[in-house]
Structure 1
Amino acid sequence: MAARPPPPLPDEIVEEILVRVPPDDPARLVRAALACKRWRRLVSGPSFRRRFREVHPTPPVLGFLRSGVDADGGGGGTVRFIPAWSSRRPRADRRAGWRALDSRNGSVLLHSDPCRPWHDPAGAPALAVWDPVADELRELPALPDFPGVYAFKAAVLCAECCDHLNCRREPFVVVIVAARPAGSSAYLYTSEADAWSEPTSAPHSVLLFEGKRSAHAGNALYFVFTHIVLMTAEGGGLGCLTIKGSGLHLWLWEADPNGDMRWAQSRVIEHETLVPEGAFVVSFDVVGFADGGGMVYLGTKDGFYIADLKSRCLRKAEGVNGMDEIMPYISFYTPGTPLLSL
């Protein structure tokens, strides 16, 4: 007489196993969801997403965004999403006529205004928020009172009401800081109202370097006015990356023993410890970072490299050249969100 099959594991045990699947390759959870209807029901539910975020508090880098010139030579820009996982491809990997300004929590802020001179009276650039995996594009209304702007910075953020279980389906905000010869202005867009606020202005003008992203720490956005890179450090604080000599210097904004806030050097990573054996990398520049994830993007004459500050490992970002702008794409994706076509 054949032995009875063992009883199935309780849902709670199966869920505790599946939440430990590494989040950096979403196709693994997709394959788990395809194993049977019961597993698909478990990994598609909100309780699984909540538990998944508890086990993996830092969203993974799922790929990066490359902004470059159209191949047809027409002068317009194209933004392309290059996934880090190799087993599946996104529904659409590019958007012609757009460039990436910022990316957070699975949303990419795009603009369609390529290299407009500061004195051009044409007005504000077109803006949109894109989900590159589901290929959903939401164009934003025109910015009010924008003529005369010679430079601007922008950021896309989750709205205050977002529970961070499915950020791409939750309300979001867009912040613009613009510089004019006569002063500076800040604009706020909310997806719930689908409208921009009236600009808040200051009489002093600032020099904005458009190639550097802002850092989000606490309830504040920090914009760079010099050739350094501000970043969201591990734990949500404010960090700063600089290159001095042959070293990559990491600084943290923290309180000293007297309670006064100051910049404190956290560590120095020497160039030789990052470069893999056999690679020819003489010098590099910090061109981007992943919020809170300990990943930085380095530009070299040989192309772009991704450096892990924790493991001190360096790998080359394939499919990118030195003329492109790159930006990490960070998000959680689990079955039950429009991730990939199954």
Structure 2
Amino acid sequence: MSSLRRRPCSPSASSPLDDDDLLSEILLRLPPHPSSLPRASLVSKSWRLLISDPRFVRRFRIHHRRHPPLLGCFVRTASGLSFEPTMSAPNRVPSGLLRFDSGDFSRPLGCRHGLALFSGHPPQRFLVWDPVTGDQHRLPVPPGFHPGTDLEVNGAVLRAAGEGDAHFRVAFVAAGKALALACVYSSETGLWGDIISTPVAVKTNPLARRFPALGRHIVSPEHAVLVGDSLYWQLTGWESRILEFDLENQSLAVIRVPLDVLYDGGTFTITRAAGGGLGFLFVSEFTAQVWERNIGCDGVASWALVTTTDLDKLLSLVPKLHYNIEILGFAEENNVVFMMTARGVFAVQLHSLQFKRLSEFNVTAEYYPFESVYTAGL
């Protein structure tokens, strides 16, 4: 009985990686780290040609847009706006790379899906900026809105899932003494939609006559958090509340929180819950509480306390040193919160509680996390 012998490969046989279509699908699934594509481009000339194709780079960015890395934060201080990277080498983005002269657009409103949104002062115009490509789009506030009225404004920028770089939406919100307004701009049509509104009921406050600010709710200057099809902002005032803008149903709602942040002497920020729903983080002294909002089978919503963490033990803080912990910002795609402590600024992942100290200084600043896909050298 003759033994089986391996048939030699035919000279014309090719590797699956020689198929550019198949190879592009494989490379498309590399981790969205800044060093991934530059490293892969060193494999061969054919790989380098494919990866350096602007069409492939654009597909790579869109493919990873919903799960981008946290590249860093735009930090606003008294001296201006700067970019502080958070990743380590070889994925660390140079701090001077994402540089922007904001000019008249002095107020950042937040970043999402690779875009940053700014407003002017007074807020008569918005600026949408792509820090990676450098593209800029200017648009006015919605028709019929007058910045001089007794309303505080905020906004958010976003893209639809799988949508290319060409189109985006800007959500505009404003709140005053008893009313909240919202409106959406579409870059595809170049128009603002209809303005919708909802009443903002406030608790009767005996001091409101002497201090009018206590008798109304205003939109917090913190950036919004996107959960599902809804955007959420903090409402600051006599009570702690959350403003929900349902983009799908074009509706506004006001949600109460289970804590009286004003009286408890703490601070809170809106987050995404572990299951993808709405949540918030409350910090008082050295204690951090994570809350989640649940919808029962009867459709009734309720809040539940999920975890309590001693930040002095986690971050090796000194309890005897009296210093209030301040929440600086929240990166929604990576569930990372930025906190300023007596030991500097920390980035804490809420689910794993892994943390990293970003700075030893505790200078008052506003943090706007930038989560995006950036391909170094391409």
TM range (shorter): 0.7 to 0.9
**Is the contact made by 2:343 and 2:361 (CA closer than 8 Å) also made in structure 1?**
no
Which shows bigger deviation, 147-156 or 169-178? 147-156
Aligned partners of 1:52 and 1:142: how far apart in 2? 31
Q: Deviations over 1:140-175 (max 9, x none)?
A: 22443222144122111214xx415x5xx1411111
1:65 to 74, 94, 97: 74
Aligned residues: CA RMSD: 3.7
Pairing 1:33–2:73 present:
no
1:16 and 1:201 map into 2 onto residues whose CA distance is 45
**Structure 1 counterpart of 2:357:** 316
Q: Give the TM-score, by structure 2 length.
A: 0.69
Cα distance change of structure 1 residues 294 and 142 upon mapping to structure 2, 3 Å threshold: closer
| Residue 342 of structure 2 is aligned to residue 274 of structure 1 | no
Write the mapping of 1:129-140 to structure 2, written as runs, cut at 5 A. Answer: 129-140=128-139
Q: For 1:264, give the aligned amino acid.
A: A
Equivalent residue of 2:218, what SS? coil
Deviation, structure 1 residue 51: 10
1:49 to 46, 60, 76: 60
State the Cα deviation string for residues 293-333 of structure 1 (Å, max 9, x = none): 22111122443211122332222223975222101111234
* Partners of 2:289 and 2:36 in 1: CA distance: 36
**1:10 and 2:17 matched:** yes
Matches within 5 A, 1:72-221: 78-85=80-87, 86-87=89-90, 88-89=93-94, 91-97=97-103, 98-113=106-121, 124-144=123-143, 145-146=145-146, 147-159=148-160, 162-163=161-162, 166=164, 169-181=165-177, 183-202=179-198, 204=200, 206-221=216-231
Q: Deviations over 1:61-118 (max 9, x none)?
A: 1111111234xxxxxxx332223345553644233432311111111101232xxxxx
Answer with 1 or 2: which has the greater Rg: 2
Counterpart contact for 2:185–2:191, Cα < 8 Å:
yes
Tell me the secondary structure at the aligned position of residue 317 of structure 1: strand
Q: Encode CA deviations 1:237-292: one digit per residue, 9 max, x unaligned.
A: 11111124532111111234666321122222221342158998954122321114
Q: Which residue of 2 aligns with 1:230?
A: 270
Separation (CA, whole Å) in 2 of partners of 1:39 and 1:112: 44
> TM-score of the superposition, structure 1-length normalised?
0.75
State the distance in 2 between where 1:277 and 1:203 align.
43
Supply the distance in 1 between the matched residues of 2:157 and 2:317 (Cα, whole angstroms): 38
Pick from 319, 341, 344: which aligns with 1:300? 341
Separation in 1 of the partners of 2:175 and 2:369?
26
Question: 2:101 is aligned with what amino acid?
Answer: R
Cα displacement (A) at 1:187: 2.3
2:279 corresponds to 1:239: yes
Residue type matched to 1:10 in 2? L
- Unaligned runs of 5+ residues in structure 1 are 71-77, 114-122, 334-338
Work out the CA distance in 1 between the residues paired with 2:273 and 2:326.
19
Are residues 93 and 255 of structure 1, via their aligned partners in 2, closer, same or farther at CA, if it must alter by over 3 Å?
Answer: same
Contact 2:185 2:192 in 1 (8 A): yes
3-state SS, counterpart of residue 140 of structure 1: strand
Deviates more, 1:12-21 or 1:192-201: 12-21
User: How far, CA to CA, are the matches of 1:31 and 1:142 in structure 2?
Assistant: 44
Count of residue pairs the alignment pairs up? 310
Provide the rounded CA distance (Å) in 2 between the counterparts of 1:236 and 1:137.
Answer: 31
Once residues 156 and 62 of structure 2 are traced to their aligned partners in structure 1, the CA distance between those partners, rounded to angstroms, is 28
Match of 1:184, SS state, is strand
Secondary structure in 2 matching 1:108: strand
Identity of aligned residues (%): 27
Structure 2 segments unaligned to the other structure (5+ residues): 1-8, 202-215, 241-266
Counterpart residue identity of residue 132, structure 1? P
Measured in 2, the distance between the counterparts of 1:265 and 1:11 equals 54
